[in-house]
């Protein structure tokens, strides 16, 4: 089973309110990623967890937080949503193969609309 699940699939949020998105995988992958995708733009890596270590991209460091309570789950947290956060959020996971990370498997995404 190479399924990555994301909840919810659609999220409506108000400006200034927090948003929490959930991702899960049962493949025992040690690395989980979060990407942001806006229309006509490439998916952009926001952060990733390798095991329990969180790595956030420099240009989105202050905007997104994440937690990984166990190997299967990873959340993406926005403390105060702004209009610019409206996008598709894609979760992915990968495992170590032959000493390096292998294919990333993507979830269906959560479409966030901030009003």
Partner 1 sequence: GEQVEQLPSILRVQEGSSASINCSYEDSASNYFPWYKQEPGENPKLIIDIRSNMERKQIQELIVLLDKKAKRFSLHITDTQPGDSAMYFCAASIASSSFSKLVFGQGTSLSVVP
For partner 1, the binding residues (CB under 8 A) are 4, 30-31, 33, 40-45, 48, 50-51, 53, 55, 90, 94, 96, 99-109
* Comparison of 69 and 99: residue with beta carbon closer to partner 1: 99
Closest distance of CB 16 from partner 1, Å: 30
Distance of CA 58 to the CA centre of its chain: 16
3-state percent breakdown (helix, strand, coil) of the chain, nearest 5: 5, 55, 40
Closest distance of CB 115 from partner 1, Å: 22
Asked if residues 109 and 9 have their Cβ atoms less than 8 Å apart, the reply is yes
């Amino acid at each position: 089973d190479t399924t990555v699940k994301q909840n919810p699939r659609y999220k409506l949020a108000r400006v200034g309110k927090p948003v929490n998105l959930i991702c899960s995988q049962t493949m025992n992958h040690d690395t989980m990623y979060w990407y942001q995708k806006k229309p006509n733009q490439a998916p952009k890596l926001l952060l990733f967890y390798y095991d329990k270590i969180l790595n956030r991209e420099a240009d989105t460091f202050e905007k997104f937080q994440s937690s990984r309570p166990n190997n299967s789950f990873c959340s993406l947290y926005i403390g105060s949503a702004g209009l610019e956060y409206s996008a598709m959020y894609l979760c992915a996971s990968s495992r170590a193969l032959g000493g390096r990370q292998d294919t990333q498997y993507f979830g269906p995404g959560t479409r966030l609309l901030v009003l």
